[in-house]
A and B are shown apart, each in its own frame.
Chain A
Amino acid sequence: MKLLEVGNLGGQLAGFGLFFLGAGIVIIMVSVVVILILGIMSAINTEKKYNFKAPLIGILVGILTFIAGGCICGFSL
């Protein structure tokens, strides 16, 4: 029995949830690009140490935002 349409992205908060889903993907993509740039820079200049903490936090926040988006628009009546 499955009476509830789960996650059809058509709920009353679908727009809000989709915004979170999109924001999560954008945050992840931007963080990955920053990591790639830092990686290239550290490969070029091996003497200088680059901090990868901020973009890694970005990826984590992006994944969590994406999951939150799924939770928000994932259930509709």
Chain B
Amino acid sequence: MFLKSNTFESMDFPVTFHIFGKDILLHPITESLGIFVGMRYYTFLKRNDQEKFSNVNSLLILIAATLGALIGSHLIGSLERPDDLMKAPNLWAYLWLNNTIVGGLAGGLIGVETMKKIIGKKESTGDRMVYPLIVAMFIGRIGCFFTGVYEETYGLPTESVFGMELGDGILRHPVALYEMVFLVALFIWIRYFQRNFSYRSGFLFQMFMLCYFSFRFLLDFIKPRYLVVFGLSTIQLVCVFIIIYYIYLIKKNRHEIIGSR
């Protein structure tokens, strides 16, 4: 087993693994690994955490989150280019072939909130999902970066010092790398906040969502976009809705949220 591209300077995109005589893309491997590690990290954190819900309720919420994320990621991913969606010869195949983490997070959020309404729970459940989500997304983005321009996670051409050749001979913003750096910074900041401040349950997740969606809203300006309305892409519109929702939520509970330890 070896990496087809051994050095960073002479990297061929997309990066593949040669296993059992077959060339396998790195991206699906990191994508699967990210989900697996994230799930294991979540169950590890849950073991050390005081459980507020019964096991059955926790499972229902986890199922709703996973199912919501699956549907949301494909739905928003497919709506990124509405024209292509309308013209798609096979609608189900098109839905399956397109996905985005923004839709996954938004769908997961809707799934969890709906399930909490159904089972009549008001306690916040998101805090212990924050670190597993960041780790899973970081691992997934490694694969996005190594796929280069062969997947739609590359940036616009740039002459700045950050420009990288991602497989088409043009210096581009390596947006997957930007996002990985952001996720590391977010992880460290949330960890610092958790240790030094007292806060209302659920605030860590709200902060994570607000920061990540704000970052994605800005990041999409340096990515090739299909403008849907108001000069914004579908992903940016979803980001705007989520940002407004969390600003409202944090503002509503601001008196009981933060206090330094």
Contact = CB atoms under 8 A, between A and B. Distances in A.
A1 B150 CA distance: 8
Given A64-B35, A64-B66, A75-B28, 5 more contacts: A2-B152, A3-B150, A4-B150, A12-B24, A77-B23
A56 interface: yes
Interface residues on B, range: 20 to 34
A27 interface: no
A59 B154 CA distance: 35
Interface residues of A, number: 27
A67 B70 contact: yes
Interface of B: 14, 16, 22-25, 27-28, 31-32, 35, 39, 55-56, 59-60, 62-63, 66-67, 70, 93, 96-98, 147, 149-152, 168, 224
Contact of A60 (B14, B31, B66, B149): B66
18 contacts: A2-B151, A7-B96, A7-B97, A13-B24, A13-B28, A53-B55, A53-B59, A56-B63, A57-B59, A60-B59, A64-B39, A64-B66, A67-B70, A70-B96, A72-B28, A72-B32, A74-B97, A77-B16
Given A2-B152, A67-B70, A77 B14 contact: yes
B35 A68 contact: yes
